[in-house]
Structures are given as structure tokens and as C-alpha cells.
Amino acid sequence: MLSIALKMLFGDITKTIGLVFGIAFSVLLMTQQGGFFIGLISRSASIVLDARDVDIWVMDAATESAETTQPLRAVDFYRIGGVPGVASVAPLARSVATIKTAEGRTESAAVFGVDDASLRGMTDKFMVGTRDDLRRPDAIAIDVLGYTKLWPGAPIEVGRSIELNDRRAVIAAITDAQPGFSAPIIVNTRLSQAGIFSPETGTVPTFALVTVAPGADRAAVAEAIGAATGLKAMPSDAFAAMTLNYVIANTGIAFSFGVVIGLGAIVGVAIVGLTFNMFIGDLTRQFAVLKAIGLTNGRIVLMVLAQAMVIAFIGYGIGLWAASGFFDGVNRPTSDLKGFYLPWQIAVAAAVATIVISIIATFVSLRRVLRLDPATVFRG
């Protein structure tokens, strides 16, 4: 029966292509928008994800995300350092500054002041220069995407001078940090230098960055820090997840992308359902012949489902290939869509949605066949 079903399916190549196109377009829309959603909200936790040398983030108890920060007191660092299992603790200050180039271009930047001694709390990926270059006078590290925004088309090089809040800064290194969520440019500098750029907020720590002793459990140490200090202490992965959940719950991003993804599924059902209905309608006589020779409705349902699954498999493969190619093309260090990718979870969800779409389209179209009178084949 499978061979007969496939011959019937590919006997009308035009409608088969239409069915494949409907599935492929639906998969492309769902996976592309899903990848956009993941890439966009991930930017809210970019500073956490980039700081691979941090085990635990400690912050004010009222802090809800990496973007909504509260200042810490100097005494908090002594109390954190005295908790068993803590190997070291370093400050991180977050402030906002206005960048102005010699050419007159102006942009907003998030400035992160890292500990002068350890330089902990920033990305370890550098396009040009190293972390130690920040020890130079007036030195800053800027992300490569921010660099290209300030100097479009210019070669990637260090040594350029800019103004940060009307104070001179020299680009000593260029990082491959992930873009921020609320600020388009990421700047790293020493904590003491950040105080020069932003005298009021540059040296006020907003996070305490903790490394745990060898063999210590991060979750247990974080819990001990919270109990001893009254501050919020979370392992890096938990803090990143909290930030993502905060953005999802407090912005309209999830709803907006959910609507688009839902529309993609609806479009898939509509296109495939209508085309498949016409396809089945054109095969009415063939199905009447099969019923006349004794084929049951159950076998016919299996045949049509097999046809639908073949279409789903081909269409899903084409749609996923197109979405993967798109993200491979746009995820470049100097692209505005840097960091956008197609997670495997989105691909699996799209596969499930494709199967559901195909099954719905199948049963919508089968009503005509199941009610078909085999005597139709004997009528003129």
C-alpha cells in the first residue's frame, strides 16, 4: 500500500511541490522567529554568559536581573570573603556612558568596571589585544560590534581615542563580547578608570564576583553567602536563567514572537490543508477504486497519513536547512544579529509542530474519502 500511496502522491508533482512549499515556509517562519527570540533575550544575560571566570554572582537582594542593578557596600565584600568555600571575591561596577568619536559620531555604551588586580568579570574572547592591555592609562576594551558602529568600514585596530562622558579614553583592546540588551556597545575598563569616566557611578560596585575553593559546591556556597550576608547569591547559570525569565515576564517580547510563531503554524495548516484537500479531491476516483476492491477506511487513512508524513519530512528538511543557512549567514562578529542562532530545542519544537500540522491537514482532507461511495467508480 505504501508504494501505491507514494505513486499517487508524486503523480501530481505540481500539487506535491505546493504541499512541500507550505510545510517549508511554515517551518522557516517558526524556526527563524524562535531563533530571533532566543538570541534577543539572551543578550540580557550577555555579561553573565561572557564572564566564564566567575562561579557565583552576589548582588543586592532587590536585584531581579543583570540589567536592573543596585549598589553594594564596601563591607559586603569583607562579609562575602569570610564565608567558607569562597576563594576570592572581586567587584564589578556597571554604569552608562556616552561615547563620542573624533568624527562626531555619538553612541550610548554600557561601561563595566572590573577589579584592577584580577580583571575578572569580562569576556576572555579578544579580536585584538589582551585583558592585560587594560592596565595602561586611559585604556578601555570595546566589543567589535560596537567598534564597527562607531567606525563603519574602518579596519579593526587599537589605539583610537574617544571621549567617554567627555573624558579621554584609548581603545587598547577589542573584544568579541556578546552585544548588550539595553546598550548597543559594551566597554570594559579597570574599576579605578571607570571612576574617571563616570565619577558618580563608575566605582560603585553593583556585583560581587566570587570564585569558589577547589572542590566546593557552587550552589552550597551561594546559599551560605545569602544566609550570612542577606544578599542574593546565585551560581552563574542560575543568575543568567533568572535574568532571562525576568525579561520574558516583564516585556512583551515573548508575546510578540509567540504571535508570529503561532501565525506561522496557522499559515502552515491553511496552505497545507487547502492544497492537500484539493490533492485528495483529485484522487477521489482512485480511492473509490481501492474501496471497491476491498480496501478499508483504516488502510486508506494510513495511506494518506503516509503521504502527509513524506511531505512533512521533505518540507521540514528544506525549511530547517533554509533557517540554518540564514543564521549561519547573519551570525557574524560585526553583524547586528550577532549571537542569533537556531537552538536544537527550537528545531525539535518545529518538528513536532510540523507533524501536528500534517495530521490536522490529513484529517481535514480525509472526510471526503471516508464518506466516499465505492460505486462512484462505476458511474459515468
Among 23, 63, 29, 27, residue whose Cα is nearest residue 234: 63
pTM of the model: 0.81
* Digit-coded pLDDT (tens) for 144-194: 999 999 999 889 999 999 999 889 999 999 999 988 887 778 999 999 999
What does the pLDDT read at residue 324?
92
Structural domain range at position 26: 2-43+252-378
Residue 247 lies in a domain: no
- Same-domain check for residues 209 and 88: yes
Which backbone phi and psi does 156 adopt, to 5 degrees?
Answer: -80, 105
Is 213 found in the same domain as 175? Answer: yes
CB neighbours of 278 closer than 8 A, spacing ≥ 6?
Answer: 15
Does a structural domain hold residue 67? no
In a domain, 214, yes or no: yes
Q: What amino acid occupies position 190?
A: R
pLDDT on residue 377:
54
User: In this structure, are 33 and 82 located in the same domain?
Assistant: no
Residue with cell 508504494: 3
Contact 363/309 with Cβ under 8 angstroms? no
Structure-derived torsion over alpha carbons of residues 102, 104, 105, 108, reported in degrees to the nearest 10: 90
Q: Are residues 77 and 226 in the same domain?
A: yes
Residue closest to 59 by CA, chosen among 121, 111, 110: 121
- For the chain, report the end-to-end CA distance as a whole number of angstroms: 27
Q: Is residue 65 part of a domain?
A: no
Last residue of a domain, one of 162, 196, 230: 230
pLDDT at residue 375, as a whole number? 59
Nearest Cα neighbor of 174 from 205, 150, 193, 194 is: 150
Are 226 and 258 in the same domain? no
Which ranges constitute the DSSP H helices of the chain? 2-11, 13-42, 46-50, 74-81, 144-150, 191-197, 218-229, 236-250, 253-282, 284-292, 297-330, 344-370
In which residue ranges of the chain is pLDDT below 70?
1-2, 4-6, 8-9, 202, 280-284, 287-288, 290-291, 294-295, 297, 367-380
Q: Does some domain include residue 52? A: no
Strand partners, 191: none
Dist CA 243 CA 220 (whole Å): 21
Domain identity same for 256 and 299? yes
Residue 250's contacts (CB-CB under 8 Å, 6 or more residues apart) are: none
> How many domains, in total, are found in the chain?
2
